[in-house]
Amino acid sequence: MSLRIVVVNPKGGSGKTTIASNLLSAYAKAGRRAALIDRDRQGSATRWLRQRPASLPPIHGIAAYEEPPANVTRTFAMMVPPDTERVVVDTAAALSRHELVDAVRNADKILVPVLPSDIDIHAATRCIGDLLVHAKVPRGQAKLGVIANRVKRNTVMYHALMRFLDSLGVPIVAVLRDVQAYVRAAEMGVGVSELRASEAGPELRQWRGILRWIDDDLLPQPRMPRPDDRSRREQTPPARGHLRIVRNG
Ligand SMILES: Nc1ncnc2c1ncn2[C@@H]1O[C@H](COP(=O)(O)OP(=O)(O)OP(=O)(O)O)[C@@H](O)[C@H]1O
Ligand SMILES: [Mg+2]
């Protein structure tokens, strides 16, 4: 089973690549087979992946902005290995509304990083509006979440950002601090989850929360059979398709 997580915000520099790469790193660290689809022709996430030490769990990478070789179809070039469990899509800045809608079309989860600044808050209002109205992302199904990024707590802008995010009615999945650990991890082809706990500090808890939010309602939860399960099974045919979530990368 593969889940597709798309990181979007047409505002440049909001932290899309940082979040995509840290998500991939957190999955790799958790033993999940993860793949990057880099849709930004800047290729920042692909460059990050190239820096990744061979000694660490591998992450499959697809530079979707590159033309496939002449004898290979685009569909084939975009295919992730069949055992991939998590596909993380990094997107470009300055997407048009149409491109934004296209980028999130097959997403299971959408993450929007937002920085604490007036300009970024304004841009995020538009991005989230487009996702809700034009991409028709349902607000109530925990498909769309925001990440407050590069925050300095107890600043005026931090409080303004949190008030704004609260007012959206979209879950705030994490609040990431503005710390050098992200810059250091990016240079080494890792994420903060793969740094020493002393270096990553409280960020690790935020990343555990992000993974939980992504997985919680999508994965079938193991549960103990209830006493009335048997009689219920006899009354209704098993709804197989309902329980299986299969997505192509
Ligand atoms: N939480 C953070 N703490 C410190 N630095 C950060 C943090 N998040 C992002 N950065 C830094 O901010 C810069 C922009 O981040 P990033 O490249 O992830 O944004 P982006 O949205 O992908 O940009 P673009 O729109 O150009 O693709 C990078 O130098 C990154 O290292
Ligand atoms: Mg980027």
Predicted TM-score (pTM) of this structure? 0.88
Residue 248 lies in a domain: no
pLDDT at 223 over 70: no
Provide the number of structural domains found in the chain: 1
Residue 186 lies in a domain: yes
Distance (Å, whole) CA 210 – CA 6: 13
pLDDT in tens, 160-170: 999 998 898 89
Residue 25 lies in a domain: yes
Among 89, 77, 75, smallest CA distance to 38 is for: 89
Beta bridge partners, 151, equal 177
pLDDT at 73 over 80: yes
Range of the domain at 153: 3-243
Q: What is the mean pLDDT of the segment spanning 85-101?
A: 98
**CA 47 to ligand 1 centroid distance, Å:** 14
Pocket mutation for ligand 1, best pick of 18, 173, 183 (most atoms within 8 Å of C-beta): 18
CB-ligand 1 contact for 16 (6 Å cutoff): yes
Residue 249 lies in a domain: no
Q: What is the mean pLDDT of the segment spanning 4-31?
A: 98
Of ligand 1's listed atoms, the one at least distance from the Cα of 19 is 18
At what angle are helices 16-29 and 180-188 packed, to 10 degrees? 70
CB-ligand 1 contact for 15 (6 Å cutoff): yes
Give me 221's structure tokens.
């939860």
Give me 18's structure tokens.
């940082």
Q: What is the CATH number of the domain that holds 126?
A: 3.40.50.300
| Burial class of residue 241, CB neighbours in 10 A (0-12, 13-18, 19+) | exposed
Residue 114 lies in a domain: yes
Backbone angles phi, psi at 87, to 5 degrees: -110, 125
Among protein residues, the one whose CA lies closest to atom 8 of ligand 1:
15
Residue 172 lies in a domain: yes
pLDDT in tens, 132-167: 999 999 987 789 999 999 999 999 999 999 999 889
CB-ligand 1 contact for 149 (6 Å cutoff): yes
Residue 81 lies in a domain: yes
Q: What is the mean pLDDT of the segment spanning 180-199?
A: 96
Q: Which 8-state DSSP code applies to residue 174?
A: E
Q: Confirm if 190 and 166 have CB atoms less than 8 A apart.
A: no
Q: Confirm if 193 and 26 have CB atoms less than 8 A apart.
A: yes
Ligand closest in space to the Cα of 15: 1
Q: Confirm if 111 and 7 have CB atoms less than 8 A apart.
A: yes
